[in-house]
Amino acid sequence: MKEIVRVFLAATKLGLVSFGGPAAHIGYFHDEYVRRRKWLDAQSYADLTALCQFLPGPASSQAGIGIGMMRAGFAGGVAAWLGFTWPSAFLMIGFALGLNRWAERFGGADAGWLHGLKLVAVAVVAQAVWSMGRQMAANRPRAAMAVGSAVLVTLWPAAAGQWAAILAGGIIGALAFRSAATVGAEAGGARTDGEGTTPERAPLSRPLALCCLVLSALLLFALPLAHSLWPGTTLAMFDAFYRSGALVFGGGHVVLPLLEKETVAAGWVEPGRFLAGYGAAQALPGPLFTFAAFLGMEAGGWTGALTAILGIFLPGFLLIAGALPFWDALRRLPRMRAALAGVHAAVVGVLLAALYHPIWTSTIRAPEDFALAAALFGASAYLRCPPWLLVLLGAIAGEGLALAAR
């Protein structure tokens, strides 16, 4: 029980400070779970990140759920999801209840403190690229793979570009890193079995994992049938949000057109309110999928908000729970380890591309922005400032820059 509480508190902390979207979340998770708490090593974290990129649903939330399950079983996964999700979910519900009026009093969408939070995301992701690159792209072949992956994803920014880069990294790794000795050398170092490191065991039993996989597929096909037999707003909403969560690859902004089709076209949410809520979601920490809480609140009050948030996250939860036990066994095979050595380098490249776009291109607008982002990077990488302090410093400095520019 103590371990479950620890997972919940760690995830809640991340849910309160993880600004910047899915790409930044990966950086925050690496800093908290790998670098600070040492709950798992960099290699296991890269394995988990690669798996989540291939699964439908919110990749960063699935990574957090996976870490929670590795740490404290199925209940740990639930605790990790609850902790990371509830802060932004309640903020989105509050926005739907009328807090948008208060937002304008604090500067609106162009507020300096909000821009400072975006610069924090630049620093956090840059620190993650630097740290992961040192461990997983430490020599010329793997560094070349990381650069190639970054180039591919930059030129092909769709979710398919990420899948292609990771798949290519796995194929090249399987062919190039054939022996176990080579894989160990290419992995950027041995595992660090520190006191806090996750035990080497499957987080869930395989029968339970199979049940999760079967249930995820069954709900996808059974919910539309149930809705046609028993019409009702709550069941219709659960079906709509479950389908959106189950069919979107890449998470984050990719889910926007699906949600627009399911809610605005159905008449549940007005177009203007939809866009206002989506804009507010950009300013909040935690998963962007909590935008569903706003839509559910607009469509059906508190019942609608709960229905929407459970519906959109459930497929991703079931998929990561079902995949983890088999993934844990597969990644130990020599050939699979060789493939993962290439995947690790590709993941570094994917994160590097995300640092450039959309994070850098939408945030660094002046020399002062670069200077502040560089200072925050130094505070994170060298001074080991905790995330909450980085967020506070970024918000204050961003507001200061905005006042100086007036």
393 token code pair:
């410093």
For position 238, what pLDDT does the model report? 96
For position 339, what pLDDT does the model report? 83
Residue 161 is assigned to a structural domain of this protein: no
In three-state secondary structure terms, 131 is helix
In three-state secondary structure terms, 202 is coil
Q: For the chain, how many structural domains are there in total?
A: 1
Residue 348 is assigned to a structural domain of this protein: no
Which residues does 142 contact at the CB level (< 8 Å), separation at least 6? 136, 186, 188, 341, 342, 344, 345
Residue 381 is assigned to a structural domain of this protein: yes
Nearest of 218, 204, 225, 161 to residue 357 by alpha carbon: 161
For position 3, what pLDDT does the model report? 94
Residue 130 is assigned to a structural domain of this protein: yes
For position 191, what pLDDT does the model report? 42
For position 78, what pLDDT does the model report? 97
Residue 54 is assigned to a structural domain of this protein: yes
Residue 160 is assigned to a structural domain of this protein: no
For position 101, what pLDDT does the model report? 61
Residue 214 is assigned to a structural domain of this protein: no
202-206 long-range contacts, Cβ below 8 Å, gap at least 24?
Answer: 202/324, 202/325, 202/328, 202/329, 203/66, 203/69, 203/70, 203/73, 203/74, 203/76, 203/77, 203/324, 203/325, 203/328, 204/69, 204/73, 204/74, 204/321, 204/324, 204/325, 205/325, 206/325, 206/326
- The pLDDT profile of the chain, 406 residues, written as one tens digit per residue, is 899 999 999 999 999 988 877 778 988 999 999 999 999 998 889 889 888 877 888 889 999 999 999 999 999 999 999 999 999 999 999 988 875 566 566 666 567 877 888 888 888 888 888 988 888 888 899 999 999 999 998 998 876 787 788 889 989 998 887 654 444 444 444 344 444 444 445 578 889 999 999 999 999 999 999 988 888 889 999 999 999 898 776 566 667 767 888 888 888 988 877 877 776 787 788 998 999 999 999 898 999 999 999 999 999 999 999 999 888 677 777 887 788 788 888 888 988 988 888 778 888 989 999 999 999 999 988 988 877 788 889 889 998 998 898 7
Nearest of 235, 387, 290, 247 to residue 82 by alpha carbon: 290
Which residues does 326 contact at the CB level (< 8 Å), separation at least 6? 206, 209
Nearest of 333, 14, 66, 27 to residue 203 by alpha carbon: 66
Neighbours of 164 (CB within 10 A): 16
Owning domain of residue 43:
2-138+188-204+319-331+364-405
- Distance (Å, whole) CA 321 – CA 74: 8
For position 90, what pLDDT does the model report? 94
Residue 232 is assigned to a structural domain of this protein: no
